[in-house]
Structure 1
């Protein structure tokens, strides 16, 4: 069964007034539009785009079992648009989330909690804009030492602390503790005159962060992280424990269905330094850009973005008058159009999607054909990767 779904943009302050609006062919919005959620997550389930007033979680509870949907979706698909940086953050592993969620269940009601559920939150983002900027993982130590040298004497205490992986984690904790504010202020002050051919982009980004978040320790934490620029169609996969923050651009994001976030700066929200360090993976190194690969079984026009997790898999179909695609669902799908006019056809119905529109597909459909002229992303459970896709040209 095909179920058209929609949702209202979430108006987080870091969102963009123009990026999602332009994708959907609308004038710029009056307020920031940060994310549109496609899925059944209880925090913001999609609406059925049929005027019924139902949400997708309610529809799945009432009708899903009859169409092969076994419980809640294991993934959440989003359109994400950033005009300023999101908070630096990290997500737990499955084991860490289960232990911590159970531990916090016994806390008094007035005590702040870090965990909304017992699930992990690996995620992947694919750039839709020509340029998508992000901070991903911690930079190799030798390179970070060279960057800090460009900041001169104010950064020397920081450079001495960042000597090895253990020192890197301890340094992040020290920066976020509040005990290092004098150094934070000095390093941010040194950004104005710092010059480096090798790290010009990193320094320019740090200056921008300092404008958005003056005196925030996260500006200095960001100097320890990889600054990554994605071009359209490129992606990164963020595993458990990896420090990250999206900076600017439009993308399709797919993640495990969880709200578990530990923050590490560039935010007015609460930061639990001890818990952040407990789940942080401080291993430094570059974060590889993930490029799409041809799906299995000789598929033409459909590509997969590799991510070795059970919760989700992400595909992309680029179709034209000469070639369409077909998918045999092995789990519930969400198809999201991002370019042109895309037609999603099941056994008994066909739905045309404009950019920014989506349809939920139940797994009892024997085959789903995608045609038209444009591009669509397909989210599905990770137990059904690219092998479930075949050409229908």
Structure 2
């Protein structure tokens, strides 16, 4: 069975006024359009043709086709014109404990100071749809960060001293705690000012981003936290995977994002919203390393982005060509989404068909097994993982 899905863009302030409209081939609304959600998350579920939410449809009819009553993942189109907050997400165990703690304390689930809005973890991946997609992801190896800080002269000395320890993870955790403590503002301002005037071939992009972030969030300590992070510029079709505890911030571009169905966010700067520093530090993975770029498996022309042992989701991507039919194997309940061209999908068991243009999506029930694809364009298919 194929079930058409539609939804309206969410108008977060960081959203682009043009990227989603251009994708969908329509005039811009004049408002920021940040995300379109194709899922059953109760905060903004997709709508099926008879007007019910996807969550209602799954509860009423999904079982008959082998679909779960609740999807394990949430598929989105994300369009960033300005930086999102620096953030990390909890593990499953941390989410369950934090949610229970805030429930017992009587914190309203929609309260601005609420941290755990559900009891689920939120690993996520994003694939670039625009020609480039800029992000911060993970903490940079300390040798490189020390070279960057050395460019800041006397202003960078307090930061450098905190990163001198032999335990890189402990040094980074303590440094982030200090930057977000509220007691380091004079040093933050001096570091940001020094970065604004610094020049260096190796770190030209990082220094330019620091200036950009400070223009958007003047005086925010997250501008300095960003100097500790990997700057990643994905090319179209490349992907990042963000595991529990990994600091990240999407900066600019259009992408297809897939995550566990959760809304738990621990913020670490570049935001006017609530920052729970102790809880962020409790979930933070402070280990430095390379950017978490995720390479796909490729079978019969279909790329599959998945993480071994992660059962919540995997994402397949096919560049569909007019001269060849494509088959996408399904691993449970799926959502198919087109981001360019025009693609016809055919369910293998029932023969049900749908023609998809950019921004259009369909739910594919698990009894179908395989999706046949013809036409020309980019098709993404979200499924549970392995």
Q: TM-score of the superposition, structure 2-length normalised?
A: 0.95
SS of 1:352's equivalent in the other structure is: strand
Other-structure match for 2:42: 42
Q: Does 1:358 align with 2:356?
A: no
Choose which of 101, 107, 116 in structure 2 pairs with 1:103.
101
CA distance in 2, matches of 1:161, 1:39: 43
Checking the alignment, whether the CA contact within 8 Å between 1:328 and 1:365 is kept in structure 2 is no
CA distance in 2, matches of 1:368, 1:288: 30
Cα deviations across residues 127-159 of structure 1 (Å, max 9, x unaligned)? 011111000000111111110111111111111
Checking the alignment, whether the CA contact within 8 Å between 1:301 and 1:323 is kept in structure 2 is no
CA distance in 2, matches of 1:38, 1:180: 41
Task: Sort the Cα spacing of 1:155 and 1:60 in 2 relative to 1 into closer, same or farther, 3 A.
Answer: same
Q: Does 1:152 align with 2:153?
A: yes
Other-structure match for 2:70: 72
Other-structure match for 2:200: 196
CA distance in 2, matches of 1:322, 1:289: 31
CA distance in 2, matches of 1:65, 1:250: 34
Q: Does 1:205 align with 2:218?
A: no
Other-structure match for 2:135: 134
Task: Sort the Cα spacing of 1:131 and 1:109 in 2 relative to 1 into closer, same or farther, 3 A.
Answer: closer
Other-structure match for 2:118: 117
Choose which of 249, 252, 266 in structure 2 pairs with 1:248.
252
Q: Does 1:322 align with 2:326?
A: no
CA distance in 2, matches of 1:137, 1:192: 23
Task: Sort the Cα spacing of 1:175 and 1:366 in 2 relative to 1 into closer, same or farther, 3 A.
Answer: closer
> Displacement of 1:109 after TM fit?
3.8
Other-structure match for 1:386: none
Cα deviations across residues 348-386 of structure 1 (Å, max 9, x unaligned)? 421100011100011112432111111100000003xxx
SS of 2:294's equivalent in the other structure is: coil
CA-atom RMSD, angstroms?
1.3
> Displacement of 1:319 after TM fit?
1.7
Q: Does 1:337 align with 2:341?
A: no
Q: Trace 1:307-318 onto structure 2 (pairs within 5 A).
A: 307-308=307-308, 309-318=310-319
> Displacement of 1:324 after TM fit?
1.7
Q: Does 1:13 align with 2:7?
A: no
CA distance in 2, matches of 1:156, 1:44: 46
Q: Trace 1:165-184 onto structure 2 (pairs within 5 A).
A: 165-184=169-188
CA distance in 1, matches of 2:148, 2:59: 53
CA distance in 2, matches of 1:319, 1:336: 12
CA distance in 1, matches of 2:115, 2:76: 23
> Displacement of 1:327 after TM fit?
3.4
> Displacement of 1:328 after TM fit?
4.3
Query: 5+ residue gaps in structure 2?
Result: none
CA distance in 1, matches of 2:228, 2:194: 16
Other-structure match for 1:390: none
SS of 2:62's equivalent in the other structure is: helix
SS of 1:341's equivalent in the other structure is: strand
CA distance in 2, matches of 1:333, 1:183: 49
Higher mean displacement: 309-318 or 246-255? 309-318
Q: Aligned pair count?
A: 377
Cα deviations across residues 212-247 of structure 1 (Å, max 9, x unaligned)? 000000000000101111000001100001000000
Higher mean displacement: 282-291 or 173-182? 282-291
CA distance in 2, matches of 1:14, 1:337: 24
Query: 5+ residue gaps in structure 1?
Result: 384-393
Checking the alignment, whether the CA contact within 8 Å between 1:150 and 1:194 is kept in structure 2 is yes
